[in-house]
DNA sequence: AGTAGTTTTTAGTCATGGCTAAATTGTAAA
DNA sequence: TTTACAATTTAGCCATGACTAAAAACTACT
């Protein structure tokens, strides 16, 4: 497997290494302080294991580690994380568009594939999709050079009642949640009409394809929308 | 990752385990006695490592191991091997047809992907290709239930001069070899005319798309053909 | 500042699966 | 049958990266 970061990294990285880097990237991007417990929670290993791995990544110059401090990525570490994320999101879109894999299943599939595709395959996939900018959840696909586009939109929970919106991003990869949204007729770029916005973080009333649904506030907060008129 | 053999196997298999099983299957299919040295040569690990792994696979009831004897697959072991082989060949064809990956590159790519695709993805790929029978090298794709079709044809080295043939299989996965054949205009189902068959295992003279080429006997032996008239 | 409680790190265990080197076994020729 | 050579297996080493349990270090409250 040829990686475009192979030139700067001594030893080849395992899927595991890549998962840690990706996790750190995602947690950082969420604006969280990537403490050991946050990281170990996210990746599903014990805190001791996380410390261990972080130290190793630090020796490889992929992360910056100072005991008892939040970890962060070095420029190289970030490049690796973004390459994996690019693989992941390209794969999600590819699986969805080319093989009709439902949007609530593409995440777990891509989770394994992202570590084993070559540069050539990555390129072929990107080309076949016409160099897309976002995956089926609206998450931006990093470019080969590591730029991450800014996604427009704001949470549906902050939208105004009585207006039409378009769904541009779902901030969740959970199968159940996505399957539920799918059942409501919601998927990327679908239009919806916000009927009512209950106060005090109450549920939201939306109309999708002529049918009305109540959405928990928690769910509405995960739906990023733009006014329906907007491109 | 859901495997259809998961019900019969206690511990999940690593890529490595799968590679051993696949290797044993392929060597058996070649009609070779799968001795320890043959196996270790093929997989590229030391004989000691092979013995070790074979013992483990034997404990898992995937192979039959008797010291100093050729290894063989149990029914379950064979099922696993065939599932991986099915993944491999479906992937090769998919990469070639859907993403235009050249036929001399699909093998190494599939080598990594074969271990991480789910049943659902395998099915989606098979469906999108119309349930194909052979991969881009003419190797038969095992069915889900583990049947391996018989491929017709005989080596070009045993064909008669002055007749037209169609290439139905290439018994090699080597990138260089395949790239070379590709340059001659040879790929699956291409027609060729056998001009001359030099005696004493000498080279063979073929015409492909109106151009004449000499082929080493060694190479001609790897090309399986049928009379051009045959379906 | 002292102390309780939480977080992080350290220390040490275990399984995996490669390796080398040495012992064993099997085979074939004298 | 003995002996030599090749193939195989055993024994033991090493790195990896998970784990638990215990120690250490931070934080926050009194």
Q: What is the DSSP string of A80-142?
A: HHHHHHHHHHHHHHHHHHHH---TTTHHHHHHHHTTT--HHHHHHHHHHTTS-SB-TTSPBPP
Q: Using an 8 Å Cβ cutoff, are A123 and A87 in contact? A: no
Rounded Cα gap, residues B20 and B172, in angstroms: 19
Residues (65-84, chain A) with CB within 7 Å of strand D atoms: 67-68
ipTM: 0.90
Give this prediction's pTM. 0.92
- The tens-digit pLDDT sequence of chain A (231 residues) is 444 665 667 778 999 999 999 999 999 999 999 999 999 999 999 999 999 999 999 999 999 999 999 999 999 999 999 999 999 999 999 999 999 999 999 999 999 999 999 999 999 999 999 999 999 999 999 999 999 999 899 999 999 999 999 999 999 999 999 999 999 999 999 999 999 988 888 899 999 999 999 999 999 999 999 999 876
| Chain A residue numbers touching B113 (CB-CB < 8 A) | 113, 116-117
Q: Is A111 on the interface with B (CB under 8 A)?
A: no
Q: Using an 8 Å Cβ cutoff, are B36 and B51 in contact? A: yes
Q: Is B1 on the interface with A (CB under 8 A)?
A: yes
Token pair listed for A19: 């998962």
DSSP character at residue B69: S
Q: Which long-range contacts (CB under 8 A, 24 or more apart) does A212-219 make?
A: A213/A184, A215/A156, A217/A157, A219/A177, A219/A181
Please provide the size of chain B in residues: 231
Q: Are B112 and A112 a contacting pair at CB < 8 A? A: no
Task: Give the closest residue to B91 by CA, choosing from B114, B116, B118, B115.
Answer: B114
* pLDDT of residue B2 exceeding 60: no
Q: Are A118 and B109 a contacting pair at CB < 8 A? A: yes
Instruction: Considering only CA atoms, name the residue closest to the C1' of nucleotide D25.
Output: A68
Q: Is B112 on the interface with A (CB under 8 A)?
A: yes
- Crossing angle for the helix pair A47-59 and A15-29, nearest 10 degrees? 100
- CB count within 10 Å of CB B103 equals 22
Mean pLDDT, to the nearest integer, of B158-167?
Answer: 95
Mean pLDDT, to the nearest integer, of B150-166?
Answer: 94
pLDDT for the residue A202: 85
Selected residue of A116, A122, A127, A128 to mutate for chain B interface (largest B Cβ count, 10 A): A116
**How many degrees, rounded to 5, is the angle at CA B224 between CA B221 and CA B226?**
135
pLDDT for the residue B1: 44
Token pair listed for A165: 């919106």
Report, in ranges, which bases of strand C sit under 7 Å from a protein C-beta: 7-12, 16-22, 25-26
Q: How does pLDDT run across B89-121, given as a tens digit for each residue?
A: 999 999 999 999 999 999 999 999 999 999 999
Residues (23-52, chain A) with CB within 7 Å of strand D atoms: 45-46, 48-49, 52
Strand-pair partners of B112: none
DSSP character at residue B162: T
């Amino acid at each position: 497997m040829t990686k475009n970061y192979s030139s700067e990294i001594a030893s080849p990285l395992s899927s595991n290494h890549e998962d840690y880097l990706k996790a750190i990237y995602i947690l950082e991007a969420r604006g969280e302080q990537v403490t050991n417990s946050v990281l170990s929670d996210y990746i599903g290993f014990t805190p001791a294991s996380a410390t261990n791995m972080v130290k190793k990544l630090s020796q490889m110059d992929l992360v910056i580690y100072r005991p008892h401090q939040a970890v962060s990525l070095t420029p190289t570490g970030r490049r690796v994380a973004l390459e994996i994320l690019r693989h992941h999101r390209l794969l999600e879109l590819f699986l969805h568009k080319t093989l009709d894999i439902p949007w609530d299943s593409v995440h777990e599939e891509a989770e394994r594939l992202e570590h084993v595709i070559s540069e050539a395959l990555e390129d072929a996939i990107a080309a076949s999709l016409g160099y897309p900018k976002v995956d089926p959840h609206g998450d931006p696909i990093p470019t080969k050079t590591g730029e991450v586009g800014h996604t427009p939109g704001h949470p549906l929970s902050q939208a105004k009642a009585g207006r039409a919106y378009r769904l541009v991003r779902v901030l969740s990869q959970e199968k159940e949640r996505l399957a539920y949204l799918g059942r409501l007729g919601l998927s990327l770029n679908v239009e919806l009409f916000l009927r009512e916005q209950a106060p005090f973080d109450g549920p939201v009333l939306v109309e999708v394809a002529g049918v009305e649904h109540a959405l928990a506030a928690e769910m509405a907060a995960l739906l990023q929308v733009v006014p329906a008129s907007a491109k």
